[in-house]
Amino acid sequence: MTNRRPLRPAAAGAVVALLAATVLAADQFTKYLAIENLPPGEPVHVLGDFLIFILTRNPGAAFSLGEGVTWIFTIALAAVAVVVVWLTITRVRSRLWAIALGLLLGGVLGNLTDRVLREPGFPVGHVVDFINTPWMMPAIYNVADIFIVSMMIGVALLVLVGLHLDGTRERRAASDDEETDDAAPAGASDRELPDQPTAGDAPRN
């Protein structure tokens, strides 16, 4: 079975840009719906205690950490976005990497948009959160957070399986097997073979 040809730079960029734009649009649209339809701070049980909507505005990171240094999170999100774009332009040729980085970039841009455009203003805007699943975690989060967390796990898995940004894979195990196969005939040739009888050694009557 032949491997797929690596993506061209333009194709990798198109995949990342399309997925990032889709996630960004979904994140901002769901935040708009939450702001327009949810009472601030009041839990709305959508599926009992399985899924609850609670509209909050978070100046900090996860679990409202770092509320007094919102600008640091703005810089961090911007730095991640720049790194993803740089990797896409210079190194990404793998479809799986393009998908993972595109979805990650969309999530980053979703929260970065809040930091830049929402009250109280640039660069300390508060992120709109509204999703709560108490059975899984006590935090309130949004669509962007879902893609950020899941794609960071996806990136870690791609690294663990040895898939490089250019689509190549690590071949350490295969190389070891080839060395073992090459060494086996050489070792066999060094062993002494038992003496075989010759015509001259045949018993005489």
Maximum alpha-carbon separation in the chain? 115
Confirm whether 129 is a catalytic residue. Answer: yes
Exposure string (b/e) for 32-64, b if CB count within 10 Å is 16 or more?
A: eebeeebeeeeeeeeeeeeebbbbbbbbbbeee
Token readout for 187 is 């070792």
The rounded distance, in Å, linking the Cα atoms of 45 and 67 is: 27
Confirm whether 145 is a catalytic residue. Answer: yes
Selected catalytic residue, list 49, 129, 182, 190:
129
Q: How many CB atoms are closer than 10 A to CB 154?
A: 18
Selected catalytic residue, list 27, 114, 145, 166:
145
Provide the annotated active-site residues: 129, 145
